[in-house]
Structure 1
Amino acid sequence: MKVLSDAGVNYIRIRLWVDPYNAAGQSYGGGIDDEATVLQIAKDAKKYGMKVLIGLHYSDFWADPATQIIPKQWKGLSDEDLNTEVYLYTKKLVNDFKQAGVTIDMAQLGNEITKGMLGVRMGNGDINVWKNEPYDTKLTNLLKSASQAFRESSKDTQLAVHIETPNMYNYDLIMNSLKTHCMDYDVLASSYYPFWGWGGNNPDNIANIEKMAKDKYGKKFVIAETGWPFTLQNSDGTPNNISYDPGHYQVGPQGQVDEMSAMYKAILSNDNGLGAFYWELAWIPVKAGWDNWQYNKLMGDVAGTGWASITSRGYYPDSKIMYEGKSASGGTSWDNNTLFDDQGHPLQLLMMYKGFLNGYESPANVTSSADIRVTKIFNNDNVNLVNPLKINDQLNVSDFLSDSGQEYLNGITGTKISDASLKAIFNDLQDRKQSKTYTDKDGNKYHYEFWLDGQTTAEKLNNFLKLNSGMKYGETLKVNYTATLVKDKEVPTVTSPVHVTLNKVYGLNNVTIDSPLTVGESMLAEDLANVQKAVNNVLTGAQGTTISGETFKNLQKAIPGVYNATGALEGIKVYTTDTGNHYIYEYWLTTDDIQGANKDVKFGDPINVTYSASLKWVKTA
């Protein structure tokens, strides 16, 4: 909240669900936006002076044009009783917020109700309810019940009606129906996504609809949702909602700035334009990395962080959360449309908020280069190498500084590179980096070991900071290495054994078998042999040599039991129950970071990994 406030954000929109839990008390996910959660978020926003819009979905989970499901507790009510329930629920909500000292500055009555809400729909939802009796009357009566509750208990709250897919005919039709039925509200709220239907989702059309709302109906106008991708990369394993280049604006941080700038100019073209809410600006992965889908899905199921949890099944349609009979919930499909990257760093658009009203020009960014050189060479006397390394030779930057480390070389032209960024660059520099193989005239093999200049880590850091003191973005950073020539040793080739520990065992609740697997024990020997066989080629190398990160990447691809990659490893042993049912174990790799779990391991050392084992029914005799 402080980051948003410091950036100039002055209003926050929070969705609210009625009862987002199943019968066992497990959340449906999506942030668990029940009243208690929303109230706490609102309190946090108020601490930093931000106003609050509460988006009432009037559903227990996501409401959108295709999905407007009535809350479980309200199902089966008559039209009159449902109107009463909406009124009482809304009235209680307003009073709860008042007692907590939180003002609701704006309330959105329903979410994207273009095709109806609270189960008021026609056919498959494609028929327009707003021009068909008695549906438009039922719908507007529900809205009037919600409006009445606010007008009685919170008169200063601005009330908004939220529709989507900007279309002049449809927006005029809906607003005319609201007027005909004497619906009391203040603001027309619209979704605006230029990557979905440029014919309506463009700045000129938004300006025209805003003008119509003012001139014909006397209403204010706000963009309730907008967004643009800063990348097409998938950072958490859940497929991105926008995974293609939409055109119109570039995909990237600057494209986000361009999309929002054009939209704000359109909004400010009429004096009834209030502003816009970006959706959903901070929904970054729980754990970044496309191969962490299983972990992110687990967090979605147990902590509500995913866009949906499998526990929403039964209330939310299978068509939304299932794919080919398997759960497709968990993670976030929006992580490439946020205003923070997958590691949580603010993107350029967040810096634009203070300037949207007064004008703002993005400062030019530049990437500094790095000059990495050899300043001293040791142990090279009396060795006659072919094409030897020489003092002052320049080294390849990418060999010594990773892509993530090179990101710290990017910044605003002419501004000083902070000590924190310099330290981050230093921490990413390779020390004791080994060169390619060199040979002498007799065919003996050698390699160089490159060491950062200095004796201790503290001295090396101090030398690096002193060498680059006052350095600005656009200038060339300097890095000094010493090189020591080392003769290669003849070493035997060995294969590292894999040790597997089971950290989870599933499927024994209603099944009794002899000698079941238990948490903490090793995988069955015959199954472990199949794991070892699959990775022998990858884990074979010179004895005592540290296993590289590239080798671990190859291991991750080769090892069986990786979700959505190699598939489950099926056990060999068949268990037969006294009822004639047959079972085997399936194994899934649960070590998220094999390299991290085996730090500095060398060829010949055991590789420790963890698997889960799940009992699987095979057949019935």
Structure 2
Amino acid sequence: MSILVDLHYSDTWADPGHQAIPSSWPTNLNGLNTQIWTYTRDVVNAFANQGTPIRFIQVGPSYCGQFYLPDHLPPYFAQIGNEINDGLLWPTGKISSKGFSRASQPVLHSASTGVCAATSGSNVHIANGWESSGVNFFWNGIFLQGQFATSDFDLFGFSFYPFYNSVASYSALQSTLTGIVNKFGKDVMVVETDWPATGSCSGVTLSERSIPISVAGQTTWVNGIKNVLAALPGGHGTGIVYWEPGWIGNAGLGSSCSDNLLVDGSGVSRASMSMFSS
């Protein structure tokens, strides 16, 4: 089993609407560059020192001289930034108010080089992988020579949920990811997804209407994503992370669907848990 460590760089949950700078961190660009580099390096080293080395860091892609760690080490993942469509470390790094070059590019580069200093790989994660316009806006704007480059990361990470927009379909995802692969030639992952197992989705039209709300539907949904990734050019579809399989007490996971988990209320695994065994 692989582990993904998600670095939110905030005192609270980070997502497309929340990316506040940690209260103890500086707010100026130079201070943030140093802080995010040091913090990222120290986290990666701490995992390695306790015997759980990280195999990928997710921030955007970065070779750091090696994509894979030696075979005798288990595969682990870490994610630099969470759904950073509008940048990270707000307000300093907020793209909609500061632009791309003000902070988002240099702090992503600093985070990535922090990974490199600890010799692991990296990945950048944005939301709505099906939405071509938003994906292209971010990736067409985030790169700037000397601040953030395609060499700063290993692979692209995207969220893909069925209940936030009825047009978040397999075909839309495939079109967007194919465009990214053709343009940049890098691997992609769907690093957040889920499907309702039971109950209802109040006021929501699921994007793939033929799939039932059921445990079997969870497997069908994920298998559909597998098929999208398998069809990407050059074998660049790398994998899927199900979020969140076991958060009992928060089974809706912020959505209008009542239960998206891979376990029941007692923590017993549902049949859909086995979808990743093959």
Please indicate, yes or no, whether the TM-score normalized by the shorter chain is above 0.5. Answer: yes
AA of the residue aligned to 1:348: A
Q: Which residue of 1 aligns with 2:51?
A: 101
Q: Which residue of 1 aligns with 2:193?
A: 226
> Which of 34, 37, 58 is residue 84 of structure 1 equivalent to?
34
Question: Does the 8 Å CA contact 2:251/2:261 hold for their aligned counterparts?
Answer: no
AA of the residue aligned to 1:349: S
Question: Does the 8 Å CA contact 2:219/2:275 hold for their aligned counterparts?
Answer: yes
Q: Which residue of 2 aligns with 1:164?
A: 127
AA of the residue aligned to 2:155: V
CA drift of 1:137 comes to 3.5
Question: Does the 8 Å CA contact 2:166/2:205 hold for their aligned counterparts?
Answer: no
Q: Which residue of 2 aligns with 1:176?
A: 140
Q: Which residue of 2 aligns with 1:346?
A: 269
Q: Distance in 2 between matches of 1:133 and 1:67?
A: 16
AA of the residue aligned to 1:117: L
Q: Which residue of 2 aligns with 1:474?
A: none
> Which of 272, 276, 282 is residue 246 of structure 2 equivalent to?
282
Q: Distance in 2 between matches of 1:195 and 1:121?
A: 31
Question: Does the 8 Å CA contact 1:121/1:135 hold for their aligned counterparts?
Answer: no
Q: Distance in 2 between matches of 1:57 and 1:163?
A: 12
CA drift of 1:133 comes to 5.6
The DSSP-based 3-state class of the residue aligned with 1:204 is helix
Alignment of 1:42-53 (within 5 A): 50-53=1-4
Q: 1:243 to 1:121 in 2, by over 3 A?
A: farther
Q: Distance in 2 between matches of 1:137 and 1:198?
A: 34
Q: Distance in 1 between matches of 2:118 and 2:140?
A: 27
> Which of 180, 183, 205 is residue 246 of structure 1 equivalent to?
205
CA drift of 1:177 comes to 2.4
Q: Which residue of 1 aligns with 2:153?
A: 185
The question of 1:139 aligning with 2:104 is answered yes
- What is the identity percentage for the equivalent residue pairs of Structure 1 and Structure 2? 28
The question of 1:119 aligning with 2:90 is answered yes
Q: Distance in 2 between matches of 1:209 and 1:186?
A: 18
Gaps of 5+ in 1: 1-49, 234-241, 286-330, 356-621
Range 174-183 or range 224-233, more displaced? 174-183
Q: Which residue of 1 aligns with 2:13?
A: 62
**Aligned length in residues:** 243
Question: Does the 8 Å CA contact 2:92/2:98 hold for their aligned counterparts?
Answer: no
Q: Distance in 1 between matches of 2:202 and 2:164?
A: 12
> Which of 169, 194, 197 is residue 165 of structure 2 equivalent to?
197
The DSSP-based 3-state class of the residue aligned with 2:179 is helix
Question: Does the 8 Å CA contact 1:65/1:113 hold for their aligned counterparts?
Answer: yes
- Summarize deviations over 1:335-361 as a string: whole Å, max 9, x none: 610001112222221122223xxxxxx
Gaps of 5+ in 2: 58-78
CA drift of 1:332 comes to 5.3
Q: Distance in 2 between matches of 1:246 and 1:89?
A: 41
Q: Distance in 2 between matches of 1:352 and 1:62?
A: 28
Q: Which is richer in strand?
A: 1
Q: 1:197 to 1:148 in 2, by over 3 A?
A: same
Q: Distance in 1 between matches of 2:118 and 2:274?
A: 37
Q: 1:332 to 1:261 in 2, by over 3 A?
A: closer
Q: Which residue of 2 aligns with 1:504?
A: none
Alignment of 1:382-531 (within 5 A): none
Larger Rg: 1
AA of the residue aligned to 1:191: S
Give the TM-score taking structure 2 as reference length. 0.80
CA drift of 1:243 comes to 3.8
The DSSP-based 3-state class of the residue aligned with 1:215 is helix
Cα root mean square deviation, aligned: 2.2
AA of the residue aligned to 1:180: L
> Which of 164, 177, 185 is residue 210 of structure 1 equivalent to?
177
Q: Distance in 2 between matches of 1:283 and 1:243?
A: 20
Give the TM-score taking structure 1 as reference length. 0.37
Q: 1:168 to 1:352 in 2, by over 3 A?
A: same
Q: Distance in 1 between matches of 2:247 and 2:9?
A: 22
The DSSP-based 3-state class of the residue aligned with 2:143 is helix
Q: Distance in 1 between matches of 2:126 and 2:91?
A: 15
- Summarize deviations over 1:77-96 as a string: whole Å, max 9, x none: 31111111111111211221
The DSSP-based 3-state class of the residue aligned with 1:265 is helix
- Summarize deviations over 1:414-446 as a string: whole Å, max 9, x none: xxxxxxxxxxxxxxxxxxxxxxxxxxxxxxxxx
CA drift of 1:180 comes to 3.0
Q: 1:162 to 1:215 in 2, by over 3 A?
A: same
Q: 1:91 to 1:60 in 2, by over 3 A?
A: same
Higher relative contact order (CA 8 A, sep 6+): 2
Alignment of 1:325-340 (within 5 A): 333-334=252-253, 336-340=259-263
Q: 1:244 to 1:134 in 2, by over 3 A?
A: closer
AA of the residue aligned to 1:190: F
Q: Distance in 2 between matches of 1:121 and 1:348?
A: 45
CA drift of 1:279 comes to 0.7
Q: Which residue of 1 aligns with 2:76?
A: none
